[in-house]
DNA sequence: ACTTGTTTACTGATCT
DNA sequence: AGATCAGTAAACAAGT
């Protein structure tokens, strides 16, 4: 069966839930996190059906983002001003989809109260750190910015402990072994029709559609460190470097360049 | 004013 | 039948 594409769905409603569509969008981004407007754009670019009635489905999608614990709202970086936060997938939400299929969820992803509180506390700390960082940059006197205590990625990914004491080098970060998702989290795989359990992916003889070509540009995710942990780690590292640089500009190297 | 985010409520479909 | 999931509407708050 040919892989569904922009062409094959046409104006028909794709068989994916809003959660699946949002997960696809997030996973298609290099940093595995996107602002709401980019999630909208991903969906309307690939699925013409969603170019109509935008108010309706976008309201539903926002409802899903807020309502489901599988989506985590990450405060915007201070050096990337703009409206709204970034959204990412909770690493434990990997197993949410049965057999890796985006067509049907195994069960709702629900964080326990304590986990949720911890996460919210860390995100709040990050947000307040950002505010203090911006205030300092603007030259306003402010109380010392409370660093987010234990890094998000340590909290979210306990197997990463102990937290590195030095700033992590993003390019050489160690990917820790974890059970691989049963289906590769590439856009191709995500858009592939549900295949029978245990059957290998059929060979693709179809010429690639324009959409598929674009999708192939998305880097394949072959490691299994959680994307959220990865994004948070990178973000946190950049933040710390930028902060250190602002405080001691003649001593420390310049902040890392923003990732593409 | 508009966008983003949260919450509640309801309905229908599907699963157990 | 009851539980769970998904979709939708709507009200409201907050931020830009």
- Convert the pLDDT of each residue in A133-174 to its tens digit: 666 666 655 455 455 544 454 444 333 333 333 322 222 222
Q: Is the CB of A17 under 7 A from strand C?
A: yes
Query: Are the C-beta atoms of A212 and A56 separated by less than 8 Å?
Result: no
The answer to whether A66 CB sits below 7 Å from nucleic acid chain B is yes
DSSP string of A115-126, one letter each residue:
HHHHHHHHHHHH
pLDDT digits (tens, 9 = 90+) for A47-73: 999 999 999 999 999 999 999 999 999
Closest to A255 (Cα-Cα) out of A170, A175, A173: A170
| Mean pLDDT of the region A83-99 | 77
Q: C-alpha angle with apex A107: A102 to A111, nearest 5 degrees? A: 110
Residue A34's contacts (CB-CB under 8 Å, 6 or more residues apart) are A25, A26, A42, A86, A87, A88
Instruction: Work out the pLDDT band at A216, boundaries 50, 70, 90.
Output: very low
Domain ranges of chain A: 18-138
The residue whose CA lies nearest the C1' of nucleotide B6 is: A66
Averaged over A167-190, what is the pLDDT?
34
| pTM value surpassing 0.75 | no
The pLDDT value given to residue A232: 53
Count other C-beta atoms under 10 Å from residue A45's C-beta.
14
The integer distance in angstroms from the CA atom of A209 to the C1' atom of C7 is: 30
CATH class of A18-138: mainly alpha
Q: Could you tell me the two tokens for A31?
A: 């940093």
From CA A255, how far away is CA A46, in angstroms rounded?
Answer: 35
Mean pLDDT of A18-26: 93
């Amino acid at each position: 069966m040919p892989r569904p594409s922009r062409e094959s769905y046409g104006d028909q409603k794709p068989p994916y839930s809003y959660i699946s569509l949002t997960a696809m969008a997030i996973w298609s981004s290099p940093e595995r996190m996107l602002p709401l407007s980019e999630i909208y754009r991903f969906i309307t670019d690939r699925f013409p059906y969603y170019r109509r009635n935008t108010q309706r489905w976008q309201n539903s999608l926002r409802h899903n983002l807020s309502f489901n614990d599988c989506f985590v709202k990450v405060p915007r970086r201070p050096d990337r001003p703009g409206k709204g936060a970034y959204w990412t997938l909770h690493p434990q939400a990997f197993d949410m989809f049965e057999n890796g299929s985006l067509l049907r969820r195994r069960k709702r992803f629900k964080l326990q109260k304590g986990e949720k509180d911890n996460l919210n506390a860390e995100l709040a700390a990050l947000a307040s750190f950002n505010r203090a960082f911006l205030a300092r940059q603007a030259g306003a006197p402010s109380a010392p910015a409370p660093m987010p205590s234990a890094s998000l990625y340590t909290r979210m990914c306990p197997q990463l402990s102990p937290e590195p004491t030095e700033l992590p080098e993003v390019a050489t970060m160690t990917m820790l072994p974890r059970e691989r998702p049963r289906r590769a989290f590439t856009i191709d795989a995500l858009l592939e029709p549900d295949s029978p359990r245990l059957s290998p992916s059929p060979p693709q003889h179809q010429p690639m559609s324009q959409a598929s070509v674009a999708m192939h540009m998305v880097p394949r995710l072959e490691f299994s460190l959680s994307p959220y942990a990865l994004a948070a780690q990178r973000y946190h590292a950049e933040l710390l470097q930028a902060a250190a640089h602002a405080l001691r500009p003649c001593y420390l190297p310049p902040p890392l360049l923003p990732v593409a």
